[in-house]
């Protein structure tokens, strides 16, 4: 007898309220390596990729998930968009044939039918910080610095749009750490409402002084590699990355691809930088995702936790899951491996979840050793191989109490 | 979905010259719309966003707690971000924790949800010169997929002049309450956003080019003045995003 939860209604009567879309390709550049394959290997090995910061100096101790391999150059005509953030996106685009997947979508649907939605929290601020240093010493911004093409939230989206010759809608969502999870939702709606047949979703964030020093000022940064859900967790480790997902309207050609079923969204209405203590907003986001998809809590096989390893966040995560799931499925969080990639994390962890669905394993929780009795969640410490998850929830919760929960299903 | 209903709008500009030049009613920041706790620590961006969001909820008699919200801004909390960047490059720079969490693009959206106890989804988007157009498109998609009503707030505060020598000199915000389909109480119907080549109003073109969120002028101007349905640009980029706007039952504004 399937469990019928009051929040999601009886299993038998539920119909999807938004059409699912196919995820026809995905890629990811992260501290684990340059592509989704290296991310997969890293998830299986479950050894932290967090290291001391190399990109710039900071006045405190921490480890970060930095992309240390060389980043690609820009074509001269798009040089005005050249930022570390856009370079990470360009690097991801050129991994594993992802660019040709987008070109195939453009050829089959037409450039005006392919859109782009990008999630980021700080966009090209790393490069702006360097421009501010120039301003401080010389009294002027560096020649060629274009605010709209480097710093504002849509800069990297506009770059990718031009780089690929897309002509569909193009915008960025910037809701802190839920940004790219929400971008997945916006992209699904663009397809459902008939504006697009395919949408490139990007989650991109790059290391910068603003986030490192900002989170440190909030006393949220861990001096050691972060330990999500662990009783002795001491805060977050920050990472960077670019994850790209190509979403397409369902058709016979993509019938064997995994699907994005829905993205549930909510607001905590509680505090700018602390989650609701009971995880009320997280419960709303997860139950809305299930409701939109016509799925029931009993059908979820795995939850990719937000689990930043801050004291309050992990507590709220665990409470929310225990509130919504009478018998929670296995859960894990990957930020001990990659760091918290902030606005990119929704898309990065959607890629983690897709790898789990397609390769048949459940990721572990790197850094998790001692269960926190206050977070009674079935946390997986080490990866579980030979699994067959079909339905996966991936959570992303951000500043401002902005929550998104992404529901993905195997074909 | 055949169309969206515009149930009401409000607009705010701290600059009296700008207020006087726009073809629809525009007021100054209303400090009463900002909870006393927040007045001293919120930016111009958040204050103008709150001013218009509160006003349009009153105007349309809607409960803010019940409305999902789409916030849209080209540069978000740029004044706070600018202060932080200036401190970050000083050897002894000091970063305030509240300035940091108030620098995120969804600061206005976050405070709005807290102040109104609104647990509905809220989004914060940016699309450069297409910011209003993409906000309208996002609103269309949300209403088309989920029905109901939503609050759209489009705003930009004044930007530091050295960041952009052309744009960002004037602060402006507007808020619209939109509903799915044609409903009672609509003051205008807004058709499906689409790509077209209708020219932007010559009178306001240079103003909107310098303040991208003023791409809303033709839409609010037509809603205020009434008259025949027209295809109007919702972006200063032409050819670009446009929508057919049909004013309803409005009395022409006194000239």
Residue B254: is its pLDDT beyond 70?
no
Q: Establish if A132 belongs to a structural domain.
A: yes
Q: Look at residue A39 and tell me if it is in a domain.
A: yes
Q: What is the pLDDT of residue B249?
A: 65
Cβ–Cβ of B97/A218 closer than 8 Å? yes
The ipTM is 0.97
* B6 closest CA partner among B249, B243, B221, B177: B177
Would you place residue A7 in the very low, low, confident or very high pLDDT band (cuts 50, 70, 90)? very low
Residue B65: per-residue pLDDT:
98
Q: Is residue A1 part of a domain?
A: no
| Residues A139, A216: Cα–Cα separation, whole Å | 29
pLDDT tens-place string over residues A358-379: 999 999 999 999 999 999 899 9
**Of A208, A276, A306, A375, catalytic:** A306
Q: Domain tally for chain A?
A: 1
What does the pLDDT look like over B97-118, one tens digit per residue?
999 999 999 999 999 999 999 9
Paired strand residues for B153: B71, B175
- Per-residue pLDDT at B40: 84
Question: Is A213 tagged catalytic?
Answer: no
pLDDT tens track for A47-87 = 999 999 999 999 999 999 999 999 999 999 999 999 999 99
pLDDT above 60 (res A290) = yes
Torsion of CA A384, A385, A390, A394, to 10 degrees: 40
**CA A295 to the chain's CA centroid:** 22
**Could you say which DSSP state residue A71 is in?**
P
Q: Quote the distance between the C-alpha of residue B210 and its chain's center.
A: 16
Residue B77 scores a pLDDT above 70: yes
Whether omega before B23 lies within 30 degrees of 0, making that bond cis, reads no
Is residue B250 predicted with pLDDT exceeding 70? no
- Looking at chain B, the whole-number percentage of residues with pLDDT higher than 90 is 94
CATH superfamily of B4-186: Thiolase/Chalcone synthase (3.40.47.10)
Tokens 């016509």, located at residue:
A294
Structure confidence by residue, pLDDT tens digits, A312-327: 999 999 999 999 999 9
Phi first, then psi: what are they for A327, rounded to 5°?
-135, 90
Give yes or no for residue B251 having a pLDDT over 60.
no
Average pLDDT score over chain A? 96
Q: What are phi and psi of A244, to 5 degrees?
A: -120, 135
> How many Å apart are CA A83 and CA A283, to the nearest integer?
37
B189, pLDDT greater than 50: yes
Asked if pLDDT for residue B255 goes beyond 80, the answer is: no
Yes or no, beta carbons of B105 and A121 under 8 Å apart: yes
Mean pLDDT of all residues in B128-149: 98
Per-residue model confidence (pLDDT) at position A9: 44
Cα B143 to Cα B149: distance, rounded to the nearest angstrom: 7
DSSP state of A47: -
Q: How far apart are the first and last CA of chain A?
A: 24
Measure B112 CA to nearest chain A CA, in Å: 8
| A340 found inside a domain | yes
Bridge pairing between strands A114-119 and A198-205: parallel
| Backbone angles phi and psi of A396, in degrees to 5 | -145, 120
Instruction: Decide if A56 is inside a domain.
Output: yes
pLDDT the model gives residue A22:
98
Question: What part of A 307-366 touches B (C-beta under 8 Å)?
Answer: none
In a domain, A345, yes or no: yes
Which is the catalytic residue, given A49, A177, A331, A377?
A: A177
Question: CB of B115 within 8 A of CB of B46?
Answer: no
Assigned token pair, A337: 């491996």
- Two structure tokens written together for A354: 């897709």
Q: Inter-chain contact B100–A214, Cβ cutoff 8 Å?
A: yes
At A229, which CATH number? Answer: 3.40.47.10
- What's residue A10's pLDDT? 45
Residue B91 in contact with partner chain A when CB distance is under 8 A: no
Cβ pairs bridging A and B (under 8 Å): 190
Cβ neighbours for A362, distance < 8 A, ≥ 6 positions apart: A302, A330, A332, A356, A380, A383, A384, A387, A389
Q: Please say if the pLDDT value at position A15 is more than 80.
A: no
Catalytic residue flag (residue A161): no
Which residue range(s) make up the domain with A54?
14-409
Percentage of residues of chain A with pLDDT beyond 90: 96
Terminal-to-terminal C-alpha distance of chain B = 35
Tell me which residue of A335, A321, A334 sits closest to A405, measured CA to CA. Answer: A321
Q: Which of A275-284, B31-40, B225-234 has the lowest mean pLDDT?
A: B31-40
Tell me if residue A288 falls in helix, strand or coil: helix
Mean pLDDT of A381-410: 97
Listed residue (A130, A310, A96, A312) closest to A206, CA to CA = A130
Q: Is A104 a catalytic residue?
A: no
pLDDT at site B37: 87
Q: How many Å apart are CA B204 and CA A390, to the nearest integer?
A: 54
C-alpha distances in Å from residue B90, one per residue of A50, A135, A214, A406 = 27, 11, 15, 40
Task: Over range A329-346, report the average pLDDT.
Answer: 98
CA distance A371 to A228: 10
- B210 has a chain A CB within 8 A of its CB: no
Tell me if A198 is assigned to some domain: yes
Beta carbons of A174 and B117 less than 8 Å apart? no
């Amino acid at each position: 007898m399937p469990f019928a939860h009051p929040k999601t209604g009886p299993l038998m009567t539920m119909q999807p309220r938004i059409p699912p879309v196919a995820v026809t390709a995905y890629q990811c550049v992260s501290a684990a390596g340059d592509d989704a394959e290296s991310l997969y290997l890293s998830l299986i090995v479950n050894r932290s990729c967090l290291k001391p910061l190399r990109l710039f100096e900071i006045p405190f101790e921490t480890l970060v998930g930095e992309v240390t391999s060389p980043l690609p150059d820009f074509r001269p005509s798009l040089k005005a968009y050249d930022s570390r953030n856009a370079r990470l996106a360009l690097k991801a685009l050129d991994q594993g044939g992802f660019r040709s997947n987008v070109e195939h979508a453009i050829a089959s649907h037409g450039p005006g039918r392919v859109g782009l939605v990008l999630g980021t929290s700080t966009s090209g601020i790393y490069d702006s910080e360097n421009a501010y240093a120039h301003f401080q010493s010389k009294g002027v911004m560096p020649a060629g610095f274009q605010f709209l093409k480097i710093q504002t939230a849509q800069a990297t989206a506009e770059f990718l749009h031009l780089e690929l010759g897309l002509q569909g809608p193009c915008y960025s969502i910037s809701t802190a750490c839920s940004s790219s999870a929400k971008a997945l939702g916006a992209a699904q709606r663009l397809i459902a409402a008939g504006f697009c047949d395919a949408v490139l979703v990007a989650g991109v964030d790059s290391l910068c002084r603003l986030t490192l020093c900002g989170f440190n000022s909030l006393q949220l940064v861990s001096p050691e590699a972060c330990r999500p859900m662990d009783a002795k967790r001491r805060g977050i480790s920050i990472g960077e990355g670019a994850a790209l997902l190509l979403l397409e309207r369902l058709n016979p050609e993509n019938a064997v691809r995994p699907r994005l079923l829905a993205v549930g969204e909510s607001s905590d209405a509680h505090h700018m930088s602390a989650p609701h203590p009971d995880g009320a907003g997280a419960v709303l986001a997860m139950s809305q995702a299930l409701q939109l998809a016509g799925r029931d809590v009993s059908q979820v096989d795995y939850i990719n936790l937000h689990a930043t390893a801050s004291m309050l966040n992990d507590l709220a995560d665990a409470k929310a899951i225990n509130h919504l799931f009478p018998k929670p499925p296995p859960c894990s969080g990957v930020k001990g491996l990659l760091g918290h990639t902030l606005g990119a994390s929704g898309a990065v962890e959607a890629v983690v979840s897709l790898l789990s669905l397609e390769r048949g394993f459940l990721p572990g929780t790197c850094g998790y050793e001692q269960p926190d009795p206050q977070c009674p969640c079935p946390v997986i410490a080490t990866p579980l191989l030979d699994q067959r998850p079909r339905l996966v929830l991936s959570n992303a919760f951000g500043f401002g109490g902005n929550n998104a929960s992404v529901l993905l299903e195997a074909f | 979905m055949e169309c969206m209903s515009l149930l009401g709008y409000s607009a705010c500009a701290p600059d009296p010259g700008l207020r006087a030049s726009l073809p629809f009613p525009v007021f100054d920041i209303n400090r009463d719309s900002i909870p006393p706790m927040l007045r001293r620590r919120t930016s111009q961006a958040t204050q103008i966003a709150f001013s218009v969001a509160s006003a349009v909820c009153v105007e349309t008699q809607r409960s803010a707690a019940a409305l999902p919200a789409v916030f849209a801004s080209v540069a978000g909390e740029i004044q706070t971000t600018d202060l932080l960047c200036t401190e970050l490059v000083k050897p002894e720079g000091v970063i305030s924790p509240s300035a940091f969490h108030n620098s995120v693009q969804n600061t206005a959206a976050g405070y709005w949800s807290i102040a109104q106890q609104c647990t509905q989804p809220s989004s914060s988007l940016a699309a450069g010169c297409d910011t209003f157009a993409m906000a309208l498109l996002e609103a269309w998609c949300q209403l088309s997929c989920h029905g109901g009503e939503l609050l759209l707030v489009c705003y930009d505060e004044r930007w530091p002049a050295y960041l952009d020598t052309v744009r960002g000199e004037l602060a402006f915000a507007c808020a619209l309450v939109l509903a799915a389909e044609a409903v009672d109480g609509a003051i205008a119907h807004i058709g499906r956003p689409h790509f077209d080549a209708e020219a932007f109003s010559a009178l306001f073109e240079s103003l909107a080019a310098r303040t991208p969120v003023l791409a809303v002028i033709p839409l609010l101007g037509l809603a205020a003045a009434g008259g025949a349905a027209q295809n109007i640009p919702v972006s200063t980029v032409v050819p670009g995003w446009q929508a057919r706007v049909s004013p309803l039952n409005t009395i022409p504004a006194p000239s």
